[in-house]
């Protein structure tokens, strides 16, 4: 998709379609009012007759509106003017994109950027528009035999800005939005790949490809022998039951000052999770290919940083394995030694994500990080607690927690803090090892984070449990690309602080 910005009156746009908003109670947006004036009251007459009430999501497509240069005008219902928030703004743009695509429009000028969203400026609205449009237009066809695009694909959007003074900021917003959207798309594509294709080796190759494409990126891949030499017994215990060798991928993007401590992102990369010996139920087990969405989000975020050439140091660490039930697989009751030297009693082999993450978090110490953020589809308990809207957030450093909460609000990719109190730590007590890998039925998301916290005492750390937000089930099944938008906004904010 091509995106550009332009200033100018809507009736003078020589293009396939001009898109304007109508608010509830039939109130025309400023651009809709200009079109109405040019057409001699044509739009207001239609609205008065009840053709469009302005309720959120309503659409009305008009052809050959008098005294306009565009072929068509699309009216979008925006709901009550004071109720337009991040969610509704994205919904309006999503409906616009799907309506235009269904109608065979190839080019459109959107004046929805004039809609007021509290606390947000034109650059935010352009970036959110691009993300919403690309999300609406996303189709995973890489493995379908019919890969042909629509006969008349939607290929160009022009976003309106109020004057020439906003053009430069608008162009920056377009570039940022397109690069973030590109990272989200990569994360979606990787998440949607089946486990027989997207193996640990496949993820490693994606990281190596990013290295080849950008001179500021350096990728290294540790093999099982390397991890064994480092004492990563927890990580390797998960891979024992699979024929796919484990990998520890490190992607270093260094475009900041040499003395700048890096932001380290650690992404869980279980490319298929059968549960191991603690076998999962068969129903919906196909969705366990999404258990590497944390890794996918790290790759998507690093790709965005590289494409934008952000002046910051970011390191991605991806421990990636396949969790399968084999004769060599770990058994409930086995005890393994982590890279930190702490021993772990494996009471449930389906609590494998924390086993690969704990060694990766110990490995992160070598980079002398400013902060470490791990991203993982870690617990079903998070889905029970928070549903499919925010990611769970826990950590040991309040300023980092606050920064992530704020980035989530700005990006619309929200998270919610849960308590990481010492009261929960005793649930991990083991009679035979330093700790158990599960803490019982209560507070499963919190005890999982408590487990990880034992490996993060030497730096500022936050944990994002994305089990509820990383993919959709049902008829809309597929990866969401979250939390790439949240992570990139956090990095944007950090860059702004440094400048």
Residues catalogued as catalytic: 280, 354
Q: Which two three-digit tokens encode residue 487?
A: 């992570």
3-state secondary structure 403-429: HHHHHHHHHCCCEEECCCCHHHHHHHC
Q: Which of 114, 93, 102 is nearest to 157 (CA)?
A: 93
Non-local CB neighbours of 352 within 8 Å, separated by 6+ positions = 238, 270, 273, 276, 321, 323
How do 269-273 and 313-323 pair as beta strands?
parallel
3-state secondary structure 300-340: HHHHHHHHHCCCCEEEEEEEEEEECCCCCCCCCCEEEECCC
Q: What is the secondary structure of 345-367 as a DSSP string?
A: EES-TT--HHHHHHHHHHHGGGG
Helices 167-192 and 122-137 cross at an angle (nearest 10°) of: 30
Measured CA distances, 391 to 290, 383, 486 (Å): 15, 9, 10
| End-to-end Cα spacing for the chain | 31
């Amino acid at each position: 998709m091509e995106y550009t910005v332009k200033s100018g009156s809507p009736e003078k746009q020589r293009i396939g379609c001009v898109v304007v908003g109508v608010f509830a109670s039939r109130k025309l947006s400023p651009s809709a009012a200009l079109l109405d004036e040019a057409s001699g009251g044509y739009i207001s007459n239609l609205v008065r007759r009840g053709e469009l009430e302005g309720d959120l999501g309503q659409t009305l497509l008009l052809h050959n509106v008098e005294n306009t240069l565009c072929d068509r005008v699309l009216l979008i219902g925006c709901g009550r003017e004071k109720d337009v928030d991040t969610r509704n703004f994205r919904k309006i743009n999503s409906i616009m994109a799907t309506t235009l695509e269904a109608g065979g429009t190839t080019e459109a000028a959107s004046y929805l950027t004039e809609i007021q969203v509290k606390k947000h400026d034109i650059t935010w609205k352009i970036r959110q528009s691009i993300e919403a449009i690309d999300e609406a237009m996303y189709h995973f066809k890489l493995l379908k035999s019919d890969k042909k695009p629509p006969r008349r694909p939607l290929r160009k959007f022009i976003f309106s800005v109020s004057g020439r003074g906003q053009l430069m900021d608008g162009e920056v917003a377009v570039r940022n939005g397109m690069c973030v959207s590109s990272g989200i798309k990569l994360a979606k594509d990787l998440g949607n790949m089946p486990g027989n294709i997207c193996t640990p080796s496949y993820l490693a190759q994606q990281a190596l490809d990013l290295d080849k494409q950008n001179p500021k990126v350096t990728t290294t891949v540790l093999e099982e022998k390397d991890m064994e030499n480092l004492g990563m017994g927890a990580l390797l215990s998960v891979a024992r039951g699979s024929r796919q060798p484990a990998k520890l991928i490190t992607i270093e993007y260094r475009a900041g000052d040499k003395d700048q401590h890096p932001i380290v992102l650690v992404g869980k990369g279980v490319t298929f999770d059968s549960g191991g010996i603690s076998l999962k139920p068969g129903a919906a087990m196909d969705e366990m290919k999404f258990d590497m969405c944390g890794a996918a989000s790290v790759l998507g975020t690093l790709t965005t940083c590289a494409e934008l050439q952000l002046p910051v140091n970011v390191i991605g660490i991806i421990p990636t394995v396949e969790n399968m039930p084999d004769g060599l697989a770990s058994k409930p009751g086995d005890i393994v030694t982590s890279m930190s030297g702490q021993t772990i009693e494996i009471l449930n082999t389906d609590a494998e994500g924390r086993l690969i993450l704990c060694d990766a978090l110990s490995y992160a110490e070598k980079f002398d990080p400013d902060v470490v953020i791990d991203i993982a589809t870690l617990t079903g308990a998070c889905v029970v607690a928070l549903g499919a809207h925010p990611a769970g957030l826990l950590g040991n450093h309040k300023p980092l927690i606050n920064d992530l909460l704020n980035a989530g609000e700005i990006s619309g990719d929200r998270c919610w803090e849960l308590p990481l109190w010492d009261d929960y730590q005793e649930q991990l007590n083991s009679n035979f090892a330093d700790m158990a890998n599960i803490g019982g039925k209560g507070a499963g998301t919190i005890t999982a984070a408590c487990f990880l916290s034992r490996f993060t005492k030497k730096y500022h750390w936050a944990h994002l449990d994305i089990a509820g937000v990383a993919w959709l089930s049902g008829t809309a099944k597929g990866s969401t690309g979250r939390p790439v938008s949240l992570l990139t906004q956090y990095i944007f904010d950090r860059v702004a602080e440094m400048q």
